[in-house]
Amino acid sequence: MNPETTKERWQLLAALREAVGVVQMILFKELRRRMARTRPDLDAAGLSLLAGAITNEIFGTQNPEEKFARFRNEHWGEIEQQLLALRDDLADLRPELTDALRIQTLCDHQQGKDSSDTLKRAEAFGFLLGNREIPLPSSFMASVRAVGERHNLIIPPLPLPPNQETPTVH
């Protein structure tokens, strides 16, 4: 493989992983918002810990720091209940979540890592949309951009003024 192709491939993988990260942020934000209503007994830190633990479970990215590992172990029952409820509670995010998990798995595969267990777990918990086709990179990026805009995490690009041909870098 020529060096230019390799560079372009890694750039694409980095962009796709960034888009997966946007979906993770949206999921975290929505979990925390929903649980603020259903779990008024939790303070802001507790809500963030729980939402973070659930997000990490979904994407197979455990935080090895002792504080977070202990929280996960002590609250596994509640984390599991939230994972089971995702199918219904955040149904509107299931398409983006499904796409992000599949893209993450494809990116991992390209980098020699097998993360297919993450997809199997999502399917077992019932929030993976099995009949959804894997998106092309461009359509995945476009859908993430759109959902990011709806959740105020991405600012849509502004058109250039007619008299400015190249973007200005600040």
Q: How far apart are CA 62 and CA 136, in angstroms?
A: 28
Higher per-residue pLDDT: 113 or 3: 113
DSSP per position, the chain: --HHHHHHHHHHHHHHHHHHHHHHHHHHHHHHHHHHHH-TTS-HHHHHHHHHHHHHHHHT----SHHHHHHHHHTHHHHHHHHHHHHHHTGGGHHHHHHHHHHHHHHHHHTT---HHHHHHHHHHT-S-TTSPPPPHHHHHHHHHHHHHHTTSSPPPPPPPTT--SPPP-
Q: Render pLDDT for 38-91 as a digit per residue (tens, 0 to 9).
A: 999 999 999 999 999 999 999 999 899 999 999 999 999 999 999 999 999 999
**How much is the pLDDT for 166?**
59
Q: Render pLDDT for 92-144 as a digit per residue (tens, 0 to 9).
A: 999 999 999 999 999 999 999 999 999 999 999 999 998 999 899 999 999 99
Q: What pLDDT band is residue 168 in, cutting at 50, 70 and 90? A: low
The pTM for the full model equals: 0.86
Cβ-based neighbour number of residue 122 at 10 Å: 25
How many CA atoms does the CB half-sphere of 79 hold within 13 Å? 22
**How much is the pLDDT for 154?**
74
**How much is the pLDDT for 62?**
87
